[in-house]
């Protein structure tokens, strides 16, 4: 597995292969399986059964070697595989930045959505190739695959922002995204059962 570069880094050329979801030169690769997403889906028993079975990959995050440190702008490509648990679409864990900073997501492939929550308000941005979703400072965010093919996006964020996954577990995201025929519906958030 590749690692982040050691600061300070020199200028570099980073190639994005959108169709493959890779960055070259590569940095760390993160793989999240259903077993890594305990307590995030509304139907926890269904998630546990699937995780205890073949424990499928839900998403991967391929990072560039730009380090997650102050004054750097790391990039990553997230690929969320299609699927659902108890009717709720595959999603990322979601996080808030402990050092409140803005972030952008650029849709590369497939259909997805960006669910944002500030503790009171919830917003939804439908994502597709060429769409930029802007995440203001202070908003927790989670990505969801609402299609039948891999949903892929490029993220660019300040290296000092950090990732607080516990905030989402504690506060939720305000809404959940469920399959509704060939489309989706945003349902009020309920804790995992």
Q: Is 103 helix (H, G, I), strand (E, B) or coil?
A: strand
DSSP 191: -
CA separation for the pair 11, 151 (Å, rounded): 30
User: Which residues on adjacent β-strands are paired with residue 114?
Assistant: 125, 143
Q: What is the pLDDT of residue 2?
A: 67
CB neighbour burial string for 144-162, b if at least 16 within 10 angstroms, e if fewer:
bbbbeebbbbbbbbbbebe
Q: What is the pLDDT of residue 4?
A: 87
- Phi and psi at residue 138, to the nearest 5°: 90, -5
CB neighbour burial string for 105-130, b if at least 16 within 10 angstroms, e if fewer:
bbbbbbbbbbbbbeeeebbbbebbee
The predicted model scores a pTM of 0.95
* Cβ neighbours for 52, distance < 8 A, ≥ 6 positions apart: none
Q: How far is CA 21 from CA 34, 46, 152, 153, 185, in A?
A: 20, 29, 7, 8, 27
Q: What parts of the chain have a pLDDT lower than 50?
A: 1
Evaluate whether 41 touches 179 at the Cβ level (below 8 Å): no
Helix (H) or strand (E) holding 49: helix 44-52
CA angle 118, 122, 123 (to 5 degrees): 110
Tokens 């009171």 correspond to what residue?
120
Q: What is the pLDDT of residue 70?
A: 93
CATH tag for 15-188 (out of 3.30.70.1140, 1.10.3210.10, 3.50.50.100, 2.60.120.10): 2.60.120.10
CA separation for the pair 141, 124 (Å, rounded): 10
């Amino acid at each position: 597995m590749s690692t982040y570069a050691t600061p300070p880094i020199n200028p570099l050329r980073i190639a994005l292969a959108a169709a493959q979801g890779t960055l070259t030169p590569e940095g760390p690769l993160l793989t999240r399986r259903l077993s890594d997403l305990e307590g995030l889906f509304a139907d926890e028993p269904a998630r546990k059964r699937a995780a205890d079975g073949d424990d499928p990959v839900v998403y991967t995050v391929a990072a560039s070697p730009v380090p997650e440190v102050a004054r750097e702008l790391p990039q990553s490509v997230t690929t969320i595989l299609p699927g659902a648990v108890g009717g709720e679409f595959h999603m990322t864990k979601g996080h808030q930045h402990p050092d409140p900073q803005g972030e952008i997501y650029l849709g590369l492939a497939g259909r997805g959505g960006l669910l944002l929550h500030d503790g009171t308000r919830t917003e939804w941005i439908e994502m597709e190739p060429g769409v930029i979703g802007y995440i203001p400072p202070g908003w927790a965010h989670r990505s969801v695959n609402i299609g039948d093919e891999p949903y892929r996006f490029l993220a660019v964020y300040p290296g000092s922002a950090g990732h607080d996954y516990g905030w989402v577990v504690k506060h939720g995201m305000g809404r959940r995204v469920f399959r509704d025929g060939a489309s989706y519906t945003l349902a009020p958030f309920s804790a995992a059962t």
